[in-house]
């Protein structure tokens, strides 16, 4: 497969150049073999959509050595003629990208930030520093990095080519779909002709206008917002502060909201809230945008406009994230307002959640019923994110009556009293969603594990992600404290019958004795697993706790069964 891409220019040759805006890469179309053979192909997994969600899934499967084909109707990353799109990537997403091997590229290009300031008029009414919060300060990745979405997508393409196993088919548009008890059939059109693919599993990552909604009979519950915004991606000779600044009532924007973020290439993303009846063509005219920028930064400020465009949003959530052989993820599953960076980041988490489950099932290590937990876990996250972002949207554009009264009172109180500052809602920043309704997460399970530091047996530093990579898609059992000979014997029996790697975590001063022993000198690993005392924590490949407990007994066997989707069948690993 690698030879088919020998002439494809997929390396990062699309750096931003002042005066030319965003120059996206273009990937070479290669005619699929099914066209020449006239045969219907068959693949275990077909991913439809080469945005950040589909590419993350493709990269995760490639890292696990799982064969898949990704189809994209375009021949580039990002959207031709469009803006930076997603820009804020959360700690959880960065930890995922670290496991996939692209975090160093993101860190080198992007902008790390942790301080956010919120203003009402000229007054600062709220601020935070995420590095001072316990939910963020132990990970090896920062709370946030700002970077244009197309850069991350490009890095994912590069990494997929490096890893192999996943085939990227550009300029392949799906125009038909059917499924039965045996497989799904996709009809695809290309510049070289049409063909068909049969697939055991189809992943829809085509976005909010997905045709798979109708093809699979999926229903959505949604609400169209009445908010209008205008994005201006700009560069300045002199940088404003590298912080997230938001205005609830910006005096330079007719007392409407404004967002200000620094991204890669010293490009600033500024979002201006517009009047509900604003004309998109008018608000995105260059002369109108320059006038708006002059009001904010002063008439003498020199500005290089990179891109300008209006946008509106809606909230939408699919009824089920699996319909037969189709899995919906990213914007194809839910659409949220952009406040708090809960859009693209949740699509990344969708992909990370499903990848290891598909790998485990295809390898025969887990029951096919494990795939149903994708809906249980990620639909809960989708509903929560829709609810959180809807509340922010109503705070930023309140309806007349109780909503406006509440906002006015909150702003007034926050100007004078610290207790009221938490009422200011310009976006509750995205976090790793807990899973409280999943049959795969039992006692003590369902919480994310940060990528904290630990010590290897030789004293060198490691991270949680190193352990997960070492486990190679298996479950990871972390045992805190010494084990008796009888407990070790029972563990060996489990390891012989389950896709499991066991690591004993010893106290700070105790020398670790082998690769299967690590030290946790400051207790960060134990804290990241949300446990205390002499216990064990069963951790999944997506760095979520399946379960915690004490003693190598039936509770551990039950936790393993649940994590592999076989508890209801009565089997035991």
Tokens of 110: 């992007």
Q: Is 252 a domain residue?
A: yes
Which domain CATH number covers 478? 3.40.30.10
Q: Mind giving me the DSSP string for 473-511?
A: TSEEEEEES---HHHHHHHHHHHHHSSEEEEEEE-TTSP
Residue 7 maps to a domain: no
Q: How much is the mean pLDDT over the chain? A: 86
Q: Which of 38-47, 502-511, 525-534 has the highest mean pLDDT?
A: 38-47
Question: What pLDDT score does 552 carry?
Answer: 76
Measured CA to CA, the distance from residue 128 to residue 116 in angstroms comes to 5
Mean pLDDT of 290-315: 86
Rounded to 5 degrees, φ, ψ at 67 are: -70, 135
Q: Which of 290, 314, 338 is where one domain is finished?
A: 314
pLDDT tops 50 at residue 459: yes
21 DSSP β-pair partners: 17
Q: Say which CATH number the domain at 280 has.
A: 3.30.9.10
pTM of the model: 0.91
- Within-domain flag for 99: no
Task: Give the model's pLDDT for residue 568.
Answer: 43
Would residue 445 count as lying in a domain?
no
Nearest of 237, 287, 279, 232 to residue 258 by alpha carbon: 232
The pLDDT value recorded for residue 8 is 30
pLDDT of residue 135: 65
Q: What is the pLDDT of residue 147?
A: 92
Count of domains forming the chain: 2
Domain boundary among 264, 293, 314: 314
| 122 three-class SS | coil
Tokens of 544: 């979520």
pLDDT of 364 over the 90 cut: yes
pLDDT band at 570 (very low <50, low <70, confident <90, very high): very low
pLDDT band at 239 (very low <50, low <70, confident <90, very high): low
pLDDT of residue 512: 47
| pLDDT at residue 15, rounded to an integer | 43
β strands within 98-139, DSSP E: 111-113, 115-120, 123-129
In a domain, 464, yes or no: yes
The pLDDT of residue 107 is 94
Is the pLDDT confidence value at 235 over 60?
A: yes
Flag whether 228 is in a domain.
Answer: yes
pLDDT of residue 534 exceeding 80: no
Query: What's phi and psi for 321, nearest 5 deg?
Result: -90, 0
User: Which of 296, 314, 332 is the endpoint of a domain?
Assistant: 314
Residue 267 belongs to some domain of the structure? yes
- At 222, is the pLDDT very low, low, confident or very high (cuts 50, 70, 90)? confident
- What are the tens digits of pLDDT across the range 431-444? 889 999 999 999 88
Residue 363 lies in a domain: no
With a CB cutoff of 8 Å and minimum separation 6, the contacts of 401 are none
- Domain range for 466 is 453-569
Highest mean pLDDT among 100-114, 278-292, 346-360, 550-564: 346-360
Is the pLDDT assigned to residue 2 strictly greater than 50? no
CA dihedral (455, 461, 463, 469) in degrees, to 10, reads: -100
Q: What is the pLDDT of residue 185?
A: 97
Residues 165, 66: Cα–Cα separation, whole Å: 6
Identify the band that residue 4 occupies on the pLDDT scale cut at 50, 70 and 90: very low
């Amino acid at each position: 497969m690698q030879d088919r891409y020998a002439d494809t220019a997929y390396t990062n040759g699309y750096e931003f150049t002042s005066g030319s805006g965003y120059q996206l890469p273009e990937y070479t179309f290669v005619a699929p073999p099914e066209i020449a053979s006239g045969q219907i192909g068959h693949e275990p997994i077909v991913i439809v959509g080469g945005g950040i969600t589909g590419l993350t899934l493709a990269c995760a499967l490639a890292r696990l050595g799982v064969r898949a084909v990704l189809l994209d109707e375009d021949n580039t990353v990002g959207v031709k003629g469009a803006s930076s799109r997603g820009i804020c990537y959360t700690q959880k997403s960065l930890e995922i990208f670290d496991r996939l091997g692209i975090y160093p590229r993101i860190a080198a290009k992007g902008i790390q930030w942790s301080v956010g300031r919120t203003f009402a008029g000229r007054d600062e009414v709220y601020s935070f520093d995420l590095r001072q919060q316990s939910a963020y300060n132990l990970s090896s990745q920062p709370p946030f990095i700002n970077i244009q979405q197309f850069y991350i997508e490009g890095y994912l393409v590069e990494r997929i080519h490096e890893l192999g196993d996943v085939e990227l088919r550009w300029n392949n548009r799906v125009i038909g779909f059917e499924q039965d008890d045996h497989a799904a059939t996709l009809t695809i059109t290309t510049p070289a002709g049409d063909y068909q693919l049969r697939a055991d599993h189809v992943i829809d990552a085509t976005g909010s206008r997905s045709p798979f909604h109708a093809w699979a009979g999926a229903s959505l519950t949604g609400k169209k917002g009445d908010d209008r915004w205008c994005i201006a991606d700009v560069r300045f000779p002199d940088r404003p502060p590298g912080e997230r600044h938001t205005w609830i009532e910006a005096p330079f924007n007719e007392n409407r909201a404004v967002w200000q973020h620094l991204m890669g290439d010293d490009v600033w993303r500024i979002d201006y809230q517009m009047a509900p009846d604003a004309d998109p063509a008018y608000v995105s005219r260059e002369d109108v945008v320059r006038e708006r920028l002059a009001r904010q930064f002063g008439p003498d400020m020199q500005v290089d406009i990179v891109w300008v465009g209006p946008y509106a949003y809606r909230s939408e959530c699919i009824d089920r994230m699996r319909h037969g052989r189709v899995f919906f993820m990213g914007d194809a599953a839910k659409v949220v307002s952009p406040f708090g960076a809960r859009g693209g980041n949740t699509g990344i988490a969708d992909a990370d959640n499903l990848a290891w489950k598909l790998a485990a099932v295809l390898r025969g290590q887990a029951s096919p019923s494990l795939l149903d937990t994708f809906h249980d876990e990620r639909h809960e996250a989708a509903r929560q994110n829709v609810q959180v972002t809807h509340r922010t949207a109503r705070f930023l554009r309140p309806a007349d009556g109780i909503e406006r009264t509440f906002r006015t009172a909150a702003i007034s109180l926050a100007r004078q009293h610290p207790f009221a500052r938490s009422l200011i809602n310009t976006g509750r920043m995205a976090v790793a969603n807990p899973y409280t309704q999943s049959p795969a997460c039992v006692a003590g399970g369902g919480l994310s594990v940060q990528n904290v530091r630990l010590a290897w047996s030789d004293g060198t530093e490691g991270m949680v992600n190193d352990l997960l990579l070492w486990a190679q898609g298996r479950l990871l059992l972390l045992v805190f404290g010494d084990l008796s000979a009888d407990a070790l014997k029972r563990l060996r029996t489990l390891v012989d019958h389950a896709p499991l790697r066991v690591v004993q975590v010893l106290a700070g001063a105790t020398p670790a004795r082998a690769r299967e022993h690590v030290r946790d000198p400051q207790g960060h690993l134990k804290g990241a697993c949300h446990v205390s005392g002499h216990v064990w924590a069963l951790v999944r490949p997506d760095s979520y706790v399946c379960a915690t407990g004490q003693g190598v007994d039936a509770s551990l066997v039950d936790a393993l069964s649940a994590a592999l989707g076989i508890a209801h069948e009565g089997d035991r690993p």
